Amino acid sequence: MSSALINDMCAWILLALAIALAENDSTSLASLWVVLSSATFVAICILVVRPAISWMIRRTPEGESFNEFYICLILTGVMISGFITDAIGTHSVFGAFVFGLIIPNGPLGVTLIEKLEDFVSGLLLPLFFAISGLKTDVASIREGQTWGILAVVIVLSCAGKIAGTVLVTTFYHMPLSEGFTLGLLMNTKGLIEMIVLNVGKDQQVLDDESFAIMVIIAVVMTGIISPIVATIYKPARRFVPYKRRTIQRSKPDGELRVLVCVHGPRNVPTIINLLEASNPTKKSPICVYVLHLVELTGRASAMLIVHNTRGSGRPALNRTQAQSDHIIHAFENFEQNSSFVSIQPLTAISPYSSMHEDICGLAEDKRVALIIIPFHKQQTVDGGMESTNPAYRTVNQNLLANAPCSVGILVDRGLSGSTRLAANEVAHHVAVLFFGGPDDREALAYGWRMCENTGTSLTVLRFVASDESLASTTELPPHMQDQDDPRILTAETDGAQEKRFDEDYLNEFRTKSAENELVVYAEQVVNNGEETVAVIRSLDIQHDLFIVGRGQGMSSPVTTGLTDWSECPELGAIGDILASSDFASTVSVLVIQQYVGLMPHETAAIPDSPPGQPDDKLANRWTPQASGTATPVF
């Protein structure tokens, strides 16, 4: 895009020079006068008109729409600029183009595009191309030799740009296929080329035959490049396999990479406290990628902005930039006041419908083990939960279904311990509710990492179904009591396998944390979901953070009936209850979904599994769907 913009600017400059030399006698001073006048016009626009427009922008309060008088004044300026350049002797389009370049990037440009683009693109632009087609007289190309020259011109003009682009991309060590593709894209013709040709014909620089040849070249080159590019270059992002996609699989003495998503400054304090409790150490530092999610507005293109944590000190141009600066400064202070934590801030500007693709792409590129994203509801003054933006929920659901690593949805109710306490006091009280399954093992792995911090106490409460409830749930209906039914054996095998994984991982945890006085492990026998909720309610005043697994695809007697009135299925049965307005008002909740969907070619690349997580687990998994439910794959 930058190369195309520079190319168009050079085309306009050459066009102005060509018109000036064509309309005037080259031996007189008239051509020099046109060139100097055009340069003076450009200088006045940059030094006088642009500061005036910037003053108009500063007079408009942030977040308010621009005065209609300002909009009319700018449109009048476009007309006046075109009139001046036409009177000078270049062309009216040149003046309008320069006036558009000097308008500062920001809300004013977005407002002008929103007001004008539909009218220009829907009506004026098709009319311009139709008029250009009517001016093209293909019959003026009579001789066969001319058609041969036409083919040579097409080949040489295309080959020249491809060769130049490939030469530059080779110098910068880019793949040859990408350099060739960029060279093809540089040959596409658009609005600027057609304007140049029309101006050349109007000024009688091009005759009918030359104009027809140039138009045919533009049409043919643009028409053949799109299918060629689609054939030689596959836009699908290459899959980059990496092994440590979960906290459970991450090495305890290696770097933990976390991608944190924030919608606004309100999400920052609790996330910083959560990262602080995640126990960054010299052996296991934490690398945090902070992604500010911004909705794409106007007609601009989606983009990913990488920020420098040491800000430039310049004032923000708009509200989005001001929020990004605030978020960056907060995490920068956290990095300076913490040890073994590195921060990389970024901003993703894209539609909510495809925002999860940017998150997943960044997570895979940076090879993170956990994505943390805020819940779509926030706490009100009276302790209730209200939805901030329904689109946030769609982003979360899409992320759960497509994430290349584990995902944690953070229900923010304010995580205490933000102030430094005395050395003997506990800053964080964390509870892990364990029901069984891969998501709960991932939640336990994260809590296990936290409890290694001397300022964090950890309570692991395992819920065990009573014998009566197990007997009632394992009894099969009459139509499934056929002993030859393969579904019976499969269900029993899967359940026993997951239970063995849970037992092995819990035993390992209890063995290694037995001497830690800040770790409490307990088991609670319950009969149904009602008793489970009663036990959890008794814990809410003792802790400031619950870590639970989403429980995708897992069913247990201890959660029976909890999903009947579920408001947010993406949180799972237990997470939905903890996040409800009538449950607790002071406890934040982190709902974790473990990544289990490895690609077939990646299975062989996984190293020896840690205890309690054998590789044969890959044979049976649950595939999460976008709707928040889960489909068993046997």
Task: Give the model's pLDDT for residue 313.
Answer: 52
Report if residue 391 sits inside a domain. Answer: no
Shared-domain flag, residues 65 and 121: yes
Report if residue 487 sits inside a domain. Answer: yes
Shared-domain flag, residues 224 and 253: no
User: Which of 195, 211, 232 lies at the terminal end of a domain, its last residue?
Assistant: 232
277-313 per-position pLDDT tens digit? 888 888 899 999 999 999 887 655 677 778 765 555 5
Residue % of the chain over a pLDDT of 70:
80
Report if residue 25 sits inside a domain. Answer: yes
510-521 per-position pLDDT tens digit? 998 888 888 999
For the domain that residue 296 is a member of, what is the CATH number? 3.40.50
Residue 131 C-beta-side C-alpha neighbours within 13 Å: 14
- The owner of tokens 């994984």 is 501
196-217 per-position pLDDT tens digit? 888 778 777 788 888 888 888 8
pTM comes to 0.63
Residue 405 pLDDT class (50, 70, 90 cuts) = very high
Q: Do the beta carbons of residue 540 and residue 424 sit within 8 Å? A: no
Of 539 and 572, more confident = 572
Task: Give the model's pLDDT for residue 370.
Answer: 95
Task: Give the model's pLDDT for residue 152.
Answer: 86
Nearest alpha carbon to residue 392 among 577, 221, 264? 264
Structural domain that includes position 540: 407-417+425-627
Shared-domain flag, residues 249 and 213: no
Which stretches within 203-338 are classed as H helix? 208-232, 268-276, 319-337
Nearest alpha carbon to residue 436 among 527, 536, 559? 559
Of 112 and 410, more confident = 410
Shared-domain flag, residues 212 and 258: no
Residue 592 pLDDT class (50, 70, 90 cuts) = very high
Report if residue 38 sits inside a domain. Answer: yes
Of 275 and 605, more confident = 275
Q: Which residues of 207-240 are buried (b: 16+ CB within 10 A; e: fewer)?
A: eebebbbbbbbbeebeeebeeebeeeeeeeeeee
Contacts of 320-327 spanning 24+ positions with Cβ under 8 A: 320/294, 320/347, 320/349, 322/62, 323/264, 323/265, 323/292, 324/292, 324/294, 326/265, 327/262, 327/264, 327/265, 327/268, 327/290, 327/292
Task: Give the model's pLDDT for residue 378.
Answer: 83
Residue 314 C-beta-side C-alpha neighbours within 13 Å: 6
Report if residue 498 sits inside a domain. Answer: yes
Report if residue 483 sits inside a domain. Answer: yes
Residue 537 pLDDT class (50, 70, 90 cuts) = confident
Q: What token pair was written down for 530?
A: 């009602």
Of 483 and 4, more confident = 4
Q: What is the DSSP string of 385-431?
A: EEES-HHHHHHHHHHHHH-SSEEEEEE-S--S--S---TTS--EEEE
The two most distant CA atoms of the chain are separated, in Å, by 106
Shared-domain flag, residues 206 and 273: no
Task: Give the model's pLDDT for residue 138.
Answer: 85
| Range with the largest mean pLDDT of 150-154, 223-227, 464-468, 504-508 | 504-508
Task: Give the model's pLDDT for residue 610.
Answer: 37
Report if residue 519 sits inside a domain. Answer: yes
Query: What is the mean pLDDT of the segment spanning 527-532?
Result: 83
Nearest alpha carbon to residue 226 among 197, 255, 189? 189
Shared-domain flag, residues 467 and 572: yes
Using alpha carbons only, give the angle 244, 245, 251 rounded to the nearest 5 degrees: 30
Tell me the pLDDT of the chain averaged across its residues: 78
Query: What is the mean pLDDT of the segment spanning 376-386?
Result: 79
412-423 per-position pLDDT tens digit? 887 754 434 444
Of 584 and 325, more confident = 325
Q: Do the beta carbons of residue 442 and residue 248 sit within 8 Å? A: yes
13-45 per-position pLDDT tens digit? 777 677 667 665 555 567 778 788 888 999 999
Residue 591 pLDDT class (50, 70, 90 cuts) = very high
Q: Provide the number of structural domains found in the chain.
A: 3
Whether 604 shows a pLDDT value over 60: the answer reads: no
Cα–Cα distance, 202 to 300 (Å, whole number):
33
User: Which of 232, 257, 279 lies at the terminal end of a domain, its last residue?
Assistant: 232
* 370-374 vs 256-262, strand pairing mode: parallel
Report if residue 9 sits inside a domain. Answer: yes
Task: Give the model's pLDDT for residue 234.
Answer: 67
CB-neighbour burial class of residue 60 (10 A; exposed 0-12, middle 13-18, buried 19+): middle
Whether 258 shows a pLDDT value over 90: the answer reads: yes
Per DSSP, what are the bridge partners of residue 133?
Answer: none
Around Cβ 170, how many Cβ atoms within 10 Å? 12
Shared-domain flag, residues 69 and 206: yes
Shared-domain flag, residues 150 and 298: no
Whether 441 shows a pLDDT value over 90: the answer reads: yes
Q: What token pair was written down for 616?
A: 């044969």
Task: Give the model's pLDDT for residue 622.
Answer: 34
For the domain that residue 547 is a member of, what is the CATH number? 3.40.50.620
- Reduced to 3 states (helix: H, G, I; strand: E, B; else coil), residue 219 is helix
Residue % of the chain over a pLDDT of 90:
21
Nearest alpha carbon to residue 368 among 273, 271, 290? 290
Nearest alpha carbon to residue 444 among 431, 455, 457? 431
Shared-domain flag, residues 434 and 570: yes
